A and B are shown apart, each in its own frame.
Chain A
Amino acid sequence: MQPLRVIAVLVLAFTPLLSACRESGIASDAAAAQPEAPAVALPNKGGSFKFGVLGDFGTGSRDQYELAAQMNALHDRFKYSMVALVGDNLYGSERPQDFKKKFEEPYKKLLDAGVKFYASLGNHDAREQRYYKPFNMGGNSYYTFSPRAEVRFFALESTYLVPEQVAWLEKELKASGSHWKIVFFHHPIYSSGERHGSDVKLREVLEPLFIEHNVSVVLQGHDHFYERVKPQKDIPYFVIGSGGKLRAGNIDRGSGITAKGFDSDLAFMAAEIDGDQMHFNVITRGGKIIDSGVITRRKGSTP
Chain B
Amino acid sequence: MPGNGAPETDFEVVRVRSENEEVDQFSVQSLMVPRRTTPPQNAAPSVVNKERGYMAVTGFRRVVLCGLLAVSLPACERDVPAPPPATAESAATAPPTKRVVGPLSEAESQALATMNERLMRYLIIHKQLEQGLPKMPTQGTPEQIDAHQREFEKKMRDARKNARRGEIFTPEAEPVIRRLLAAVFAGPDGKALMESVMDEQPLGIKLDVNGRYPDTVPVSTVPPGILQTLPKLTEDMEYRFVGRHLILLDTHAHVIADFIEDAIPAE
Residues of A participating in the B interface, judged by any CB pair closer than 8 Å: 92-96, 98-100, 123-129, 131-133, 138-139, 158-164, 166-167, 170, 187, 196, 199-202, 204-205
A201 touches B192 (CB 8 A): yes
The verdict on B83 contacting chain A, using a C-beta distance below 8 Å, is: no
Q: From residue B239, how far is it (CB to closest CB) to chain A in Å? A: 8
B97 touches A199 (CB 8 A): no
B146 touches A200 (CB 8 A): no
A160 touches B222 (CB 8 A): yes
Contacts of A202 in B (CB 8 A): 196, 223-224
Q: From residue A186, how far is it (CB to closest CB) to chain B in Å? A: 9
Please judge, given known A-B contacts A163-B224, A163-B228, A201-B192, whether A95 and B138 are in contact too, CB under 8 Å. Answer: no
Which residue of the partner chain, among B216, B238, B254, contacts A160 with CB atoms under 8 Å?
Answer: B238
Contact with A along B70-105 (1 / 0, CB 8 A): 000000000000000000000000001111000000
B199 touches A196 (CB 8 A): yes
The verdict on B168 contacting chain A, using a C-beta distance below 8 Å, is: no
Please judge, given known A-B contacts A93-B215, A158-B221, whether A163 and B136 are in contact too, CB under 8 Å. Answer: no
Known contacts A95-B146, A163-B98, A166-B97, then 16 further A-B pairs from the complex at CB < 8 Å, ordered by chain A residue = A92-B215, A96-B146, A123-B200, A123-B219, A127-B219, A127-B251, A128-B145, A129-B145, A131-B145, A132-B141, A158-B221, A159-B219, A196-B199, A199-B196, A201-B224, A205-B96
B189 touches A133 (CB 8 A): no
Contacts of A133 in B (CB 8 A): 137, 139-141
Q: Compute how far the CA of A170 lies from the CA of B97 in the bound complex, rounded to whole angstroms.
A: 9
Q: From residue A55, how far is it (CB to closest CB) to chain B in Å? A: 15
Q: Compute how far the CA of A129 lies from the CA of B146 in the bound complex, rounded to whole angstroms.
A: 10
Q: Compute how far the CA of A93 lies from the CA of B215 in the bound complex, rounded to whole angstroms.
A: 6
The verdict on B227 contacting chain A, using a C-beta distance below 8 Å, is: yes
B143 touches A96 (CB 8 A): yes
Can you identify 27 A-B contacts, CB atoms within 8 angstroms? A93-B216, A95-B146, A96-B141, A96-B146, A100-B142, A123-B200, A126-B254, A127-B219, A127-B238, A127-B251, A129-B145, A131-B138, A131-B140, A132-B141, A138-B138, A159-B219, A159-B222, A160-B222, A160-B227, A161-B223, A163-B99, A166-B96, A167-B97, A201-B223, A201-B225, A202-B224, A204-B96
How many A-B residue contacts, CB cutoff 8 Å? 101
Q: From residue A206, how far is it (CB to closest CB) to chain B in Å? A: 9
Count B interface residues, CB 8 Å: 38
Q: Compute how far the CA of A291 lies from the CA of B145 in the bound complex, rounded to whole angstroms.
A: 38
Q: From residue B219, how far is it (CB to closest CB) to chain A in Å? A: 5
Nearest chain-B residue to A170 (Cβ)?
A: B97
Q: Compute how far the CA of A102 lies from the CA of B140 in the bound complex, rounded to whole angstroms.
A: 17
Q: From residue A26, how far is it (CB to closest CB) to chain B in Å? A: 34
Contacts of A163 in B (CB 8 A): 96-99, 224, 227-228
The 4 A-B pairs of least Cβ separation, nearest first, read A139-B138, A99-B142, A96-B142, A133-B139
Q: From residue B231, how far is it (CB to closest CB) to chain A in Å? A: 12
A123 touches B145 (CB 8 A): no
B136 touches A131 (CB 8 A): yes
Q: From residue B99, how far is it (CB to closest CB) to chain A in Å? A: 5
Please judge, given known A-B contacts A131-B136, A166-B97, A167-B97, whether A205 and B220 are in contact too, CB under 8 Å. Answer: no
Q: Compute how far the CA of A196 lies from the CA of B197 in the bound complex, rounded to whole angstroms.
A: 11
B96 touches A201 (CB 8 A): no
B196 touches A201 (CB 8 A): yes
Which residue of the partner chain, among A92, A100, A126, A131, contacts B139 with CB atoms under 8 Å?
Answer: A131
Contacts of B192 in A (CB 8 A): 200-201
The verdict on B119 contacting chain A, using a C-beta distance below 8 Å, is: no
Please judge, given known A-B contacts A93-B215, A100-B142, whether A162 and B200 are in contact too, CB under 8 Å. Answer: no
Please judge, given known A-B contacts A99-B142, A163-B97, A201-B225, whether A123 and B218 are in contact too, CB under 8 Å. Answer: yes
B251 touches A166 (CB 8 A): no
